[in-house]
Amino acid sequence: MKTESMKKLLIANRGEIARRIIRTCRKMGIFTVAVYSEADAQAAFVEEADESVCIGPAPAVKSYLNIDNIIAAARQTGAEAIHPGYGFLSENYRFAATCEAENLVFIGPSSEVIKTMGDKLMARRLMEAAGVPVVPGRSEKIGDLQQARSAAEALGFPVMLKASSGGGGVGIAKVDNDDALSKALSETVAKSQALFGDGTVFIEKFIENPRHVEVQIVADNKENIVHLYERECSVQRRNQKVIEESPSAGMTDAARERLLRMALEGIRHIGYTGVGTLEFLLDHDENFYFLEMNTRLQVEHPVTEMITGIDLVEMQIRIADGEPLPLKQQDIRLQGHALECRLYAEDPETFLPQPGKIAKLQLPSRDTRLDFAVREGDVITPYYDPMIGKIITHDTDRNRNLSKMLRVLEAVNVQGIRTNLPLLEKILRDPSFAAGQYDTTLVPKMTANTMDAHREGLTC
């Protein structure tokens, strides 16, 4: 169970993912160091780690994004490795490069690969060269309005303008017609320059009502690459995921096989090591298009762990420690069906975040895996992500698993703050979700009326 060399690991993250990483480290006999902001001094993950170091005040830029303070905490505690979790510094190539320069093991791919795949235009070109389908568009920087216009006319409106340094739904603009193009282009360039320090923008065709499906891959330093099947992530609000499942319900076996094969070819082409995810858009004719790559652990990794029985955090640590993959593709079996519901501290209709004290937190103890950030009595501050926990279920097939998840959700009781629990139950009972026939428009359609009313309300 133990690794060859790793004895102490620092977790440069917080909340449920810090607790999740601690669990695997404990199993592997690795000591853990939590780093925390002043706002998180009482948090569960700080208590559960073997050691903890305060790295600054509540705002993330002063603590969880403060590279100098995190490196100093690793030096002070003698940690040999840093796990970045997801979000924060997990895809920051400067952080990975600093770890490399400081002889700290960064649990993830090389800083060079993070930099390359973080450049959306470069990632698009690489995938194109590997033969992976990309969204119809131009794999070049848009130099001026004339170039944008000729590209948009060739593709046909609507089109998407995308910031090359953006991602996760930030720095993108849908353009419906030629009249709107000039303004959208100058705004996207300016926003991209302001947010990312890079005004490079490119253009793609807008895919109508797509589904969002991603492929989990694992690669070691010895050119062994496997996939761990796909995750269906089309249940989204504000471009962020709410419910994920694996396997995807609405995909034929032929399409799945093609998707998984393409993902492996793409990964082989870029020389990736570690755990990573290729995100794709699927249209209603089962055409799929590479969207972006996440060079880190995903929030929704538990659904993959449930259907394969593989601990992805353990895989990350072993690969970063130089070990070869312990299994081959034929050893990985897709078993049953897994679902993950993200419980957010937010209004179920307006999606407005709800900081506050969790007066009561009752969770079922059977039939579910609970990856939670908080305990009863904890206070949710306004500083970080509204996700307070993930509820994961697994069963032999999708129908049984949907029923199981509904029973589990009915047994969840959170008081003191509003959560999206009613929305989760509503989605699970939705006929198109139950039939597996849904795309990214599912939640926006369900909540369209209340959102309009809310928008009018805010300006009154």
Partner 1 sequence: MATITIQTPIPGILYHRPAPEQACYAQTGQKLQPEDTICLIEVMKTYHEIKSGKGGTFVRYLVDNEAVVEAGQDIALIESDEN
Nearer to partner 1, 272 or 384 (CB): 384
Binding mask 191-210 toward partner 1 (x if CB under 8 A, else -) reads: ---x----------------
CB of 241 vs partner 1, minimal distance in Å: 14
Instruction: Pick one of 384, 393, 424, 438: the residue that binds partner 1 (CB under 8 A).
Output: 384
Residues 372 and 388: beta-carbon distance below 8 Å:
yes
Smaller CB distance to partner 1: residue 261 or 357? Answer: 357
Q: Identify which of residues 104 and 242 has a Cβ nearer to partner 1 in the complex.
A: 242
Task: Name which position in 321, 346, 371, 439 contacts partner 1 (CB under 8 A).
Answer: 346
Does position 345 bind partner 1 by CB under 8 A?
yes
Q: For residues 371 and 388, give the distance between their C-alpha atoms in angstroms, rounded to a whole number.
A: 9
* Nearer residue to partner 1 within complex by CB, 336 or 353: 353
Contact call for residue 353 and partner 1 (CB under 8 A):
yes
Among residues 197, 254, 366, 460, which is the contact residue for partner 1, using CB under 8 A?
460
Residue with tokens 């791919």: 109
Among 154, 190, 352, 453, binds partner 1 (CB under 8 A): 352
How many CB atoms neighbour CB 286 within 10 A? Answer: 15
Contact between 429 and 406 under an 8 Å Cβ cutoff? The reply is: yes
Of residues 39 and 270, the one with the C-beta less far from partner 1: 39
Measured between its terminal Cα atoms, the distance across the chain in Å is 60
Q: How far is the CB of 385 from partner 1 (least distance, A)?
A: 6
Q: Is 169 in the site for partner 1 (CB under 8 A)?
A: no
DSSP assignment, residue 324? P
Are the C-beta atoms of residues 17 and 85 closer than 8 Å to each other?
A: yes
Question: Can you read off the two tokens belonging to residue 388?
Answer: 């307070």
Other Cβ atoms within 10 Å of 379 Cβ, number: 14
Q: How far is CA 440 from CA 82, 128, 266, 448, in A?
A: 34, 25, 25, 13
Burial code (b: 16+ CB inside 10 Å, e: under 16) for 100-126 equals eeeebbbbbbbbebbbbbbbbbbbbbb
Q: Which of 19, 124, 296, 318 is catalytic?
A: 296
Q: How far apart are CA 84 and CA 94, in angstroms?
A: 13
DSSP letters for 263-309: HHHHHHHHT--EEEEEEEEE-TTS-EEEEEEE-S--TTHHHHHHHH-
Question: Smallest gap, in angstroms, from Cβ of residue 57 to partner 1?
Answer: 10
Among candidates 207, 211, 325, 302, which has minimal Cα distance to 259? 211
Q: How far is the CB of 353 from partner 1 (least distance, A)?
A: 4
* Least gap, CB of 345 to partner 1 (angstroms): 7
Among residues 52 and 298, whose Cβ is nearest to partner 1? 298
Considering the complex, state which of residue 356 and residue 436 has its C-beta at the smaller distance from partner 1: 356
In angstroms, what is the minimal distance from the CB of 450 to partner 1?
A: 16
Residue 385 touches partner 1, criterion: CB under 8 A: yes
Counting Cα atoms < 13 Å in the Cβ hemisphere of 179 gives 0
Is 23 a residue of the active site?
Answer: no
Largest CA distance in the chain: 63
Q: Which residues contact 233 (CB under 8 A, 6 or more apart)?
A: 212, 213, 214, 241, 244, 279, 300
Q: Say whether residue 84 binds partner 1 (CB under 8 A).
A: no
CB of 238 to partner 1, least distance (A): 8
Site for partner 1 in 221-250 (CB under 8 A): 238
Q: How many CB atoms are located within 10 Å of the residue 359 CB?
A: 11
Binding of partner 1 by 154 (CB under 8 A)? no
Closer by beta carbon to partner 1, 326 or else 382? 382
Q: Does 103 bind partner 1 (CB under 8 A)?
A: no
From candidates 144, 197, 285, 458, binder to partner 1 by CB under 8 A: 458
Q: By CB under 8 A, name the one of 78, 169, 382, 444 that touches partner 1.
A: 382
CA atoms within 13 Å, Cβ hemisphere of 123? 30
H or E element in which residue 73 lies? helix 67-77
- Pick the piece of the chain touching partner 1 (CB under 8 A) from 2-10, 204-212, 303-311, 377-385: 377-385
Q: How far is the CB of 59 from partner 1 (least distance, A)?
A: 8
How many chain residues are in contact with partner 1, going by CB under 8 A? 17
Taking the complex as a whole, how short is the minimal distance between the CB of residue 99 and partner 1, in angstroms? Answer: 25
Stretch that binds partner 1, among 178-186, 213-221, 244-252, 344-352 (CB under 8 A): 344-352
343, 390 contact by CB (below 8 A): yes
Nearer to partner 1, 321 or 346 (CB): 346
Adjacent-strand bridge partners of 235: 243
What is the set of active-site residues?
Answer: 296
**Interface contacts to partner 1, rule CB under 8 A:** 59, 194, 238, 345-346, 352-353, 355-356, 382-386, 458-460
